[in-house]
């Protein structure tokens, strides 16, 4: 019995046309699709989603190359005299410097005045003390000249009175061979914390004698003579 169904042609037979091919064999040899690169979210073209062609629609900020709007809080671009240029800073006044300088000068003047006043005060104290030292020697010599030896003894410093009693002092002054009848204070100075008073004694025979008397401060303000 002859089979009347058509037979599948053999592609390898010599009489088969070369343009025919098995579709299942071609699909088996096609390479797999290339996966998208990292970051490329565009899906590859498929048979159901054809790849769009033509220019891309403009984005939210316009075409490529357009500047993005400035971020919030960004500084404007300053141009010479153009929009966005910062104004020059206000000129500072020198009034504060004048006031501060005047106050400093006033303080300096007051300080100098205080120092000068204190110096003058110390100078006046020194002058007054020199006068008091001179006056102490004058009083002592006047008591000796008038033979008031007890009063003269009271004018002596503690060092002399510790070495000599009042009676010994009276006897010594009474037995002097020469008694002066006048005297003159020639100089008063401060040496080693004590005052030095120089005196010229004058005698009846017109002779003179130069003496030096130390005056010391004892107690709070007592001036004593140390011959």
Which helix (H) or strand (E) segment is 201 a member of?
strand 194-202
pLDDT tens figures, 59-94: 555 555 555 555 555 555 555 555 555 566 666 666
pLDDT tens figures, 118-148: 444 344 444 568 999 999 999 999 999 999 9
CA distances from 85 to 68, 72, 75, 79, 109 (A): 20, 18, 10, 5, 49
Q: How far apart, in whole angstroms, are the C-alpha atoms of residue 176 and residue 213?
A: 18
Torsion angle of alpha carbons 137, 140, 146, 151, nearest 10°? Answer: 160
Contacts of 156 (CB under 8 A, 6+ apart): 140, 169, 224, 225, 226, 227
Delimit the domains of the chain by residue range.
100-226
Instruction: Give the pTM.
Output: 0.47
According to CATH, what is the number of the domain 100-226?
A: 3.10.450.100
């Amino acid at each position: 019995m002859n089979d009347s169904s058509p037979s599948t042609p053999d592609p390898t037979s010599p009489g088969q046309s070369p343009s025919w091919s098995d579709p299942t064999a071609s699909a088996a040899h096609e390479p797999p699709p290339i996966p998208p690169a990292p970051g490329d979210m565009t899906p590859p073209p498929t048979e159901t989603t054809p790849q769009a062609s033509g220019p891309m629609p403009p984005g939210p900020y316009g075409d490529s190359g357009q500047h993005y709007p400035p971020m919030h809080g960004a500084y404007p671009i300053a141009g010479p005299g153009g929009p966005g240029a910062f104004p020059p800073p206000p000129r500072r006044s020198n009034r504060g410097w004048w006031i501060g300088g005047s106050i400093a000068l006033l303080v300096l003047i007051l300080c100098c005045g205080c120092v000068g006043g204190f110096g003058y005060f110390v100078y006046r104290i020194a002058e007054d003390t020199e006068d008091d030292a001179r006056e102490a020697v004058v009083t002592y010599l006047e008591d000796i000249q008038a033979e008031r030896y007890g009063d003269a003894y009271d004018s002596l410093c503690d060092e002399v009175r510790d070495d000599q009693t009042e009676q010994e002092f009276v006897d010594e002054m009474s037995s002097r061979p020469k008694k002066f009848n006048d005297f003159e204070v020639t100089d008063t100075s401060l040496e080693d914390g004590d005052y030095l008073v120089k005196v010229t004694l004058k005698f009846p025979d017109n002779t003179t004698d130069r003496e030096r008397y130390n005056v010391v401060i004892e107690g709070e303000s007592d001036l004593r003579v140390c011959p």
